[in-house]
Structure 1
Amino acid sequence: MASALTINSAVKLSSGYELPRLGLGVYLNDDCKPACVAALKHGYRHIDSARMYRNEAQVGEALRESGVPRDQVFITSKVDSGEHGFEKTLAAIDSSLKNFGFDYIDLMLLHSPLSGKERRLEAYKALIEARNKGKVRSIGVSNYGVKHLEEIKAAGLETPAVNQVELHPFCQQKDIVDYCAKHGIVIEAYCPLIRGKWNDTIINVGKKYNKDPAQTLVRWSIQRGFVSLPKSSKPERVASNADIYDFELSAEDVAALDALDRGKEGAISWNPVDAE
């Protein structure tokens, strides 16, 4: 069955901006420029970077060389916990703007809650300040558990537009997903490909549609309503990971993948959603 979704499908954020449902992750890719160029060539309009990835400049260069207008590509970065605090976060955002060579960043996230309550709240206030000054368009968080999101609410601050967490069939973060759904927070799924740690269920579901496991997992992620951020440093894989719009997983196959959840034990990354 053909999918109604396309590579240009997007979700509307609480900020009013549209976020493409498929993005290229560039974590652990020191030379991400070829992957970014390939992504833009093959229709991606969303790239997810971070200050700790140390490749913001390459993302900016790739966009300029691609010929795709800046306003047609959604760019995300993240402020690491070591740069939290009001003034330090503002300085980090200015540094990111310089690295990218941009006038604004589409989405700025706090990369994790590991800085502690006081510093992460001050950092979040800095995101609001930067947004109000036009330096970023939308703000959010990453790796935030329910208690961290409640902390923002209790402080009387606006709700994040996005929470980016590790999310795939083995680690479905159901409490966080449910909370975000109730509060209008868009979920972005990182590590959607489980770093290649696939089992027979994932492989066999894909075979039904003549799709590889990576395509199957991205399709599951998007059908579940998440924004999916598959990462690859290989241009051919970047293109292949986006080849998910000519099929739709059946309800039965979605359920089979849903049944793989191992809770937090299924995480393959740092997943600091329980940080104090």
Structure 2
Amino acid sequence: MPRLGLGVWKVTEEGQVEQSIQDAVKAGYRSIDTAKAYGNEEGVGRAIRECGVPREELFVTTKVWNSDQGYDSTLKAFQDSLEKLGLDTLDLYLIHWPVKGKYKDTWRALEQLYKDGKVRAIGVCNFHVHHLEDLLQDAEIKPMVNQVEYHPLLSQVELRQYCQDQGIVLEAWSPLMQGNLDVPQIQELAEKHGKTPAQIVLRWDLQNGVVTIPKSTHEKRIRENADVFDFELSHEDMALLDGLNQDKRFGPDPDNFDF
């Protein structure tokens, strides 16, 4: 699984997702993260076919939406997503949110898809520690990935440690805080390293062992977001960023969402 990928949340304008993926592939990205709820799986599929990179070199993720959760409905939703994407197999399939009373049946469906060889890896999104502990009571296969909101203002230390102990890869959505990067300490580190604030945050993710999937539709920013492997944050830099945590969410709380 690539450590850096392209997120395509809310990229639904005609031709925009295809162009973003083309730009990303040229910049070296090999991971694309979509979801049924994003409404752009067909565009992602077209971009994959037209990007000029062999399918086996790409890591493609999509997710089952809340209204499709449950065993049989998840199997159907997976097939629908596969057809929209125009793929024979998927690299990673995720439960989008921990829908109470349904996510265990949904997980059984993902386990079956994995056993059948239709998906190379399975995981969850937005699961707190207590969701994971509940799931693991009955799961035959441990989730391989937990994709959550993660950034310096929401560093989720307990969850990151739990996932690390369990061998679950933590993956960050909204790593760039939906553009709210005007934090003095981040700005100072950007000046110190000659990098953008976004690059500082993405580097922090990577050095914390967190996979990250920043979203952008601008070619320049897509290239910049990938340009994070030629410098390193010091222990002091990392500690400074770690100290910014406010448990602040820009998205919903997994214990209190309504969709």
Matched, 1:204 2:219: no
Matched, 1:24 2:6: yes
Q: Residue type of the partner of 2:65?
A: D
Matched, 1:131 2:114: yes
| CA-CA distance at 1:66 after TM superposition | 1.1
For CA contacts below 8 A with separation 6 or more, give which structure has more relative contact order: 1
Give the match for residue 163 of structure 1: 146
CA distance in 1, matches of 2:95, 2:146: 9
* CA shift in 2, pair 1:106/1:73, >3 Å: same
Matched, 1:174 2:157: yes
CA distance in 2, matches of 1:46, 1:196: 21
CA contact (8 A) 1:166 1:271 kept: no
TM (normalized to structure 1)?
0.89
| CA-CA distance at 1:271 after TM superposition | 3.4
CA contact (8 A) 2:174 2:214 kept: yes
* CA shift in 2, pair 1:144/1:273, >3 Å: farther
| CA-CA distance at 1:275 after TM superposition | 6.6
CA distance in 2, matches of 1:250, 1:273: 35
Q: Which of 56, 73, 80 is matched with 1:71 structurally?
A: 56
Q: What runs of 5+ residues in structure 1 fail to find an aligned partner? A: 1-18
* CA shift in 2, pair 1:77/1:193, >3 Å: same
Q: What runs of 5+ residues in structure 2 fail to find an aligned partner? A: none
2:186 counterpart SS class: helix
Give the match for residue 234 of structure 1: 218
Q: After the TM superposition, which parts of structure 1 deviate over 6 Å for at least 4 consecutive aligned residues?
A: none
2:112 counterpart SS class: helix
Give aligned-pair identity as a percent.
42
Matched, 1:107 2:98: no
CA contact (8 A) 1:152 1:158 kept: no
CA distance in 2, matches of 1:105, 1:161: 14
CA distance in 2, matches of 1:229, 1:221: 10
Matched, 1:37 2:22: yes
1:105 counterpart SS class: coil
* CA shift in 2, pair 1:205/1:120, >3 Å: same
Q: Which of 239, 245, 257 is matched with 1:255 structurally?
A: 239
CA distance in 1, matches of 2:255, 2:55: 33
CA contact (8 A) 2:88 2:118 kept: yes
CA distance in 2, matches of 1:256, 1:80: 37
CA distance in 2, matches of 1:175, 1:158: 22
Query: Which has the higher mean CA deviation after the structures are superposed, 101-110 or 246-255?
Result: 246-255
CA distance in 2, matches of 1:74, 1:158: 21
CA contact (8 A) 2:125 2:148 kept: yes
* CA shift in 2, pair 1:275/1:155, >3 Å: farther
How many residues end up aligned between the 2 structures? 254
2:123 counterpart SS class: strand
1:136 counterpart SS class: coil
Give the match for residue 9 of structure 1: none
CA distance in 2, matches of 1:62, 1:54: 14
| CA-CA distance at 1:103 after TM superposition | 0.3
TM (normalized to structure 2)?
0.95
* CA shift in 2, pair 1:233/1:196, >3 Å: same
CA contact (8 A) 1:143 1:273 kept: no
CA distance in 2, matches of 1:130, 1:65: 27
Q: Deviations over 1:48-72 (max 9, x none)?
A: 1011001111111111111100010
Matched, 1:269 2:251: yes
Matched, 1:147 2:134: no
CA contact (8 A) 2:108 2:139 kept: no
2:170 counterpart SS class: strand
Matched, 1:85 2:70: yes
